[in-house]
Amino acid sequence: MIVTVTLNTALDRSLTVPTLQLGQRHRASEVLTLAGGKGINVARALKRLDVPVVATGLAGGRTGTRIVEELTAEAILNDFVRIRDESRTSTLVVDPTSGRQTEINEWGPKVTETELGTLMDKLRYLSRGADSVVFAGSLPRGVSETFYAEAARELGRRGIRVALDAEGEPLRLGLDAEPWLVSPNQHEAEQLVGQELFDDEDFLMALDAIAELGARNVHITLEDGCFALVREERQVRRYRAIVPRLEPVSVVGAGDALLAQWITAMLEGTPVEDALRLAAAAGAASVLEVGAGRFDPAEARRLAAAVEVHELQAVS
C-alpha cells in the first residue's frame, strides 16, 4: 500500500475556454471539478494503475467536505483530518485554440498545531501497513517549513520509503532527512541548485548536487520526459528519458502521473530503464486529457514503446 499526504488540498476546477481573451465574457465549453493537491493527484494516478492507495492530509470547511466527496466518488480510499479553516479552490483555464493555460491558486487555510498533531497521529497509524509514503505539494499557512523533513525522518527510521515532491525551502529542508526519492520539476530544481539548467551537463550537475544534499534518488521532470539519478546495488546511475512529441491538452499533473508510475514500477521490481519508460509514458499520457493525475494506462503502455532512455555519464 502507498499513502499519499496532501496538506494543502484543493477543489480543482478546470475550465475549457476556446479563444480566451482577457476582459471579455466567455462561456466554458467544458467544466471539470476534481479533488486536488499534488498528493491527491498522485493518489488518482495510482488508482488508475490499480495500486492500493490511501490519500490523507488536511481538509477544511465546506470545500473540504466537497474534496472528500469527490475522492469517494472516484473510489479513492481516503482518511483526512478535518480542520476548522476553509480549504482552497484552484482554477485552471485551458484555451485549446492557443494551447495556453492559466492557473489561479488560492492561499489555502491556516492550520493549528493541534490539527497538525492529529495529522501526524493519523499518518503514524496509516503508515504501519505502507511500503511508501508520498508527501507532495505546498504547505498551508501555520505549518513550519521543516514539516516534511521531520515527518520524513521519522518514517525513514521505520524503514518506510519516502517520496517528496515539493518546492522552495520545504524541499531544501526535506532533503536533510535523506528521502528515498525527490521529484522536482525543472524550475524547482533550478531553485535548489541556484542556476538555470539548459543542456545535459547542467542537468547532470543538478542531479548530483541534489543527491549530495541528501536525496537517495532524484527525478527532474520536464515536458518531454525527465532526467533521473538512481542508486542500485551501491552504484549511482544517471539517465535521460525522452517521450515522443505530443499535442498536449493540459500539462498540469504530468509530473504526478510520472511519479506514481515510477513508484509502482520500482515496488514491483521492474528494471530501472523499463521503469523510466513506463513513468515517462504515464506523464506523457496524462497531458492528453484535462484533470491532474488522470490518464489512460493503455495509452501509456502504447507510448512507452516510443520512449527513449539513455544512460548518461557523470560530469567530471
All residues at 6 or more sequence positions from 216 whose CB lies less than 8 Å from its CB, including other chains: 178, 179, 180, 181, 231
Going by their DSSP bridges, the two strands 30-36 and 10-16 should be labelled as: antiparallel
Which pLDDT score, from 0 to 100, does residue 145 have? 97
256 annotated active-site: yes
Against a cut of 0.85, is the pTM above it? yes
Residue 314: pLDDT band by 50, 70, 90 thresholds? confident
pLDDT in tens, 180-202: 999 999 999 999 999 999 999 99
Residue 316: pLDDT band by 50, 70, 90 thresholds? low
Give me the mean pLDDT over the 46-53 stretch.
Answer: 97
Please say if the pLDDT value at position 233 is more than 90.
no
Give me the mean pLDDT over the 72-79 stretch.
Answer: 98
> In the CATH hierarchy, which fold is given to the domain comprising 2-312?
UDP-N-acetylmuramoyl-L-alanine:D-glutamate ligase (3.40.1190)
Contact at 8 Å (CB) between 96 and 25? Answer: no
Which pLDDT score, from 0 to 100, does residue 107 have? 86
Phi, psi of 250 (to 5 degrees): -155, 130
Of these residues, 12, 165, 256, 296, which one is catalytic? 256
Q: Which residue has the cell 489561479?
A: 104
Give the lowest-confidence range in 169-173, 181-185, 250-254: 250-254
